[in-house]
Amino acid sequence: MAKARTHDPDFEIRFFESVLRREPAYAAVVELLGGLYTRQGRIADGLKMDRKLVRLQPDNATARYNLACSLALSKRKSDALRELRAAVKLGYTDFDWMQQDPDLDALKRHPEFQALLQTLKPQS
């Protein structure tokens, strides 16, 4: 019988950090680390990775969205809204996720966030 694997985010972080030291522009690893850091509560480190990914891929709508989430978690509402606008302009369209994403809770009552959501709302 195969041994069950346990999830060790600290191991994953150390592994991907070592990959990034060897290959600093490896965008997929930058993105993975950003998510891992954020899930581990390392918001500042996640923000750093999200900023780096946007520098590497400035036209990536998902990277902009993730940066907006990190900025919102860092209580930087106006910066988060700016990045959300950029994400939508670049093609981000996931209305349902944006509406429920807990990373954006700090923005959800903001009129500009609500207006941006309306631009994505599916027409019925």
- Per-residue model confidence (pLDDT) at position 4: 57
Q: Is the pLDDT of residue 121 over 90?
A: no
Residue numbers of the domain that contains 101: 9-120
1 secondary structure, DSSP code: -
4 domain residue, yes or no? no
1 domain residue, yes or no? no
2 domain residue, yes or no? no
Q: Given the structure tokens 């609500």, which residue do they identify?
A: 114
- Per-residue model confidence (pLDDT) at position 99: 94
pLDDT tens for 75-111 read 999 999 999 999 999 999 999 999 999 999 999 999 9
pLDDT greater at residue 120 or residue 22: 22
Q: What number of residues does the chain have? A: 124
50 domain residue, yes or no? yes
Q: Is the pLDDT of residue 64 over 90?
A: yes
Tell me how crowded residue 16 is: count the other CB atoms within 10 A of its CB.
20
Query: In the chain, how many domains are there?
Result: 1
40 domain residue, yes or no? yes
Q: What is the CATH number of the domain that holds 54?
A: 1.25.40.10
51 domain residue, yes or no? yes
Average the pLDDT over 59-77 and give the result.
98
SS (H, E, C) 20-66: HHHCCCCHHHHHHHHHHHHHCCCHHHHHHHHHHHHHHCCCCHHHHHH
